[in-house]
């Protein structure tokens, strides 16, 4: 169940020099999910799980280079958040974004191809694991710099507000980002200018290997919204329906009132910070607790107890999803690497006079 701070007092909204009274919209009642919806959520979570497991395997096979951060254990949060958005809404993420791309509707083949650095990937092979981007799906990037996406998402919300659109910008980040200056600056601007942005802190309890309790004077990170007169809530990130309903409320506030919202989901990751992190900072007891709280296993059990999805049906669904991921890996394997000549094609959005396009082996000066 979400825990919500007291709403800020009513204030006026600044709109290009005018002041319009802001009217509080009633919270939409949660929609009880039907069986088909629940099975759909479970399938998305299963796809993310099997995709990430395959990505971890591909990394050990040296098919994926650079850094690689997985959503293992965060599947309920990913699916719940994306279920709250319209296709026209924008998403900014950090570098742990494979599952978000899948849940935003980008095909597993294109996502896997990008991880493999192939030209058929969502960023044409030049972005890799941390830099998925698809303007058509309105996924405006995974960002490798901690918190680098937060000011950009705030700027996108300003653009939406300036143009008078009804889109919402969702910006997700890890718990460590809540400690950096850009986080506070962005929330301040969003609160001051009444921007339609939902900031989501995915609190997995660890900033790399340091616990939130040991790094934050206020470890309940959603409370930081109060400093900017911003509504905020904390929700159990292992419950896909709880996340969806909390996110829907946040998105509704942003859309109907053009007010920012800070949502925190508690979503422990099952593995280390990245695929090369053995997570030795976790005790045996902590690992057992994480396994017991696995959101995928929890949802499978709930569906079985409700008579919605039996053991045999789950096995069939698992086989279908595994085949889909296997096909994505085969597609990535068979796809060509990008031509070296295209390395600088997307450095700038428009041509720039005198742009340097020298490759490492090229001479500094031409003869």
pLDDT at residue 26, rounded to an integer: 46
Give yes or no for a contact between 149 and 171, defined as CB atoms under 8 angstroms apart. Answer: yes
CA distances from 243 to 1, 91, 182, 257, 266 (A): 9, 16, 25, 21, 10
Percent of the residues in the chain that have a pLDDT greater than 90, as a whole number: 71
Give yes or no for a contact between 163 and 196, defined as CB atoms under 8 angstroms apart. Answer: no
Give yes or no for a contact between 265 and 241, defined as CB atoms under 8 angstroms apart. Answer: no
Give how many domains the chain has, as a whole number. 1
Residue 173 lies in a domain: yes
pLDDT band at 252 (very low <50, low <70, confident <90, very high): very high
Pairing label, strands 90-93, 169-174? parallel
Give yes or no for a contact between 233 and 250, defined as CB atoms under 8 angstroms apart. Answer: yes
Distance from chain centroid for Cα 241: 17
Residue 29 lies in a domain: no
Instruction: Find tokens 């993420």 and name the residue.
Output: 93
pLDDT digits 0-9 by tens, 37-51: 999 999 999 999 999
Residue 318 lies in a domain: yes
Report the alpha-carbon angle 285-294-219, nearest 5: 70
Least confident among 131-135, 154-158, 227-231, 273-277:
273-277
**Count, residues in the chain:** 367
pLDDT digits 0-9 by tens, 329-338: 999 999 999 9
pLDDT at residue 214, rounded to an integer: 84
As a whole number of angstroms, the distance between CA 140 and CA 149 comes to: 9
The neighbour count for residue 53, using CB atoms within 10 Å, is 14
Single out the residue of 53, 57, 52 nearest to residue 78, CA to CA.
52
Give the mean model confidence (pLDDT) for residues 311-317: 95
* Boundaries of domain holding 200: 34-335
As a whole number of angstroms, the distance between CA 336 and CA 118 comes to: 6
Least confident among 21-35, 282-296, 305-319:
21-35
Stated pTM of the model: 0.88
For residue 162, give every residue at least 6 positions away whose Cβ sits within 8 Å of its Cβ, in sequence order, or none.
Answer: 16
For residue 85, give every residue at least 6 positions away whose Cβ sits within 8 Å of its Cβ, in sequence order, or none.
Answer: 91, 104, 168, 170, 247, 251
Widest CA span of the chain, in angstroms? 76
Report the alpha-carbon angle 308-310-316, nearest 5: 110
Give yes or no for a contact between 149 and 156, defined as CB atoms under 8 angstroms apart. Answer: no
Instruction: Find tokens 């109060």 and name the residue.
Output: 226
**Taking the CA of residue 50 as centre, how many other CA atoms within 13 Å lie in the half-sphere pointing to its CB?**
20
Give yes or no for a contact between 198 and 251, defined as CB atoms under 8 angstroms apart. Answer: yes
Residue 69 lies in a domain: yes
pLDDT digits 0-9 by tens, 62-119: 999 999 999 999 999 999 999 999 999 999 999 999 999 999 999 999 999 999 999 9
As a whole number of angstroms, the distance between CA 138 and CA 87 comes to: 8
pLDDT digits 0-9 by tens, 195-244: 999 999 999 888 887 888 888 888 899 999 999 999 999 999 999 999 99
Q: What is the DSSP letter of 134?
A: B
Give yes or no for a contact between 108 and 51, defined as CB atoms under 8 angstroms apart. Answer: yes
pLDDT band at 279 (very low <50, low <70, confident <90, very high): confident
For residue 348, give every residue at least 6 positions away whose Cβ sits within 8 Å of its Cβ, in sequence order, or none.
Answer: 355
Residue 202 lies in a domain: yes
The neighbour count for residue 286, using CB atoms within 10 Å, is 13
pLDDT at residue 28, rounded to an integer: 55
**Taking the CA of residue 200 as centre, how many other CA atoms within 13 Å lie in the half-sphere pointing to its CB?**
35
> Residue 282 maps to which CATH number?
3.40.50.970
pLDDT digits 0-9 by tens, 9-39: 444 444 433 333 333 444 556 667 899 999 9
pLDDT at residue 22, rounded to an integer: 36
The neighbour count for residue 211, using CB atoms within 10 Å, is 13
As a whole number of angstroms, the distance between CA 266 and CA 74 comes to: 9
């Amino acid at each position: 169940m979400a825990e919500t701070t007291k709403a800020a007092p009513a204030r006026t909204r600044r709109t290009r020099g005018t002041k319009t009274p802001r009217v509080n919209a009633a919270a939409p009642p949660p929609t009880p999910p039907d069986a088909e919806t629940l099975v759909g959520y479970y399938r998305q979570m299963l796809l993310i799980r099997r995709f990430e497991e395959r990505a971890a395997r591909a990394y050990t096979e040296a098919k994926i280079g650079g850094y690689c951060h997985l959503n293992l254990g965060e599947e309920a949060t990913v699916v719940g958040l994306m279920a709250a958005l319209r296709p026209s809404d924008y998403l900014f993420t950090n570098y742990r974004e494979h599952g978000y791309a899948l849940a935003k509707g980008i095909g597993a083949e294109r996502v896997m191809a990008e991880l493999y650095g192939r030209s058929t990937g969502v960023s044409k092979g030049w972005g890799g694991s941390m830099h998925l981007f698809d303007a058509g799906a309105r996924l405006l990037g995974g960002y490798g710099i901690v918190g680098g996406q937060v000011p950009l998402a705030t700027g996108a919300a300003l653009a939406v507000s300036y143009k008078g659109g009804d889109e919402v910008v969702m910006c997700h980040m890890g718990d460590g980002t809540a400690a950096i200056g850009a986080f506070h600056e962005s929330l301040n601007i969003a609160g001051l200018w009444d921007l339609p942005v939902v900031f989501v802190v995915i609190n997995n309890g660890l900033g790399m290997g340091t616990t939130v309790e040991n790094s934050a004077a206020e470890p309940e990170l959603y409370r930081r919204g109060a400093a900017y007169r911003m509504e905020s809530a904390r929700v159990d990130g292992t419950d896909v329906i709880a996340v969806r309903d909390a996110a829907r409320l946040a998105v509704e506030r942003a859309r109907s009132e053009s007010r920012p919202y800070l949502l925190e989901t508690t979503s422990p990751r099952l593995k280390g910070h990245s695929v090369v992190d053995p997570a030795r900072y976790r005790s045996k007891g902590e690992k057992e607790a994480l396994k017991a709280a696995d959101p995928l296993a929890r949802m499978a059990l709930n569906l079985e107890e409700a008579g919605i999805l039996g053991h045999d049906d789950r096995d069939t669904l698992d086989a279908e999803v595994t085949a889909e991921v296997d096909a994505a890996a085969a597609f990535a394997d068979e796809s060509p690497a990008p031509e070296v000549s295209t390395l600088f094609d997307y450095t700038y959005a428009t041509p720039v006079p005198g742009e340097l396009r020298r490759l490492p082996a090229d001479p500094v000066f031409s003869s």
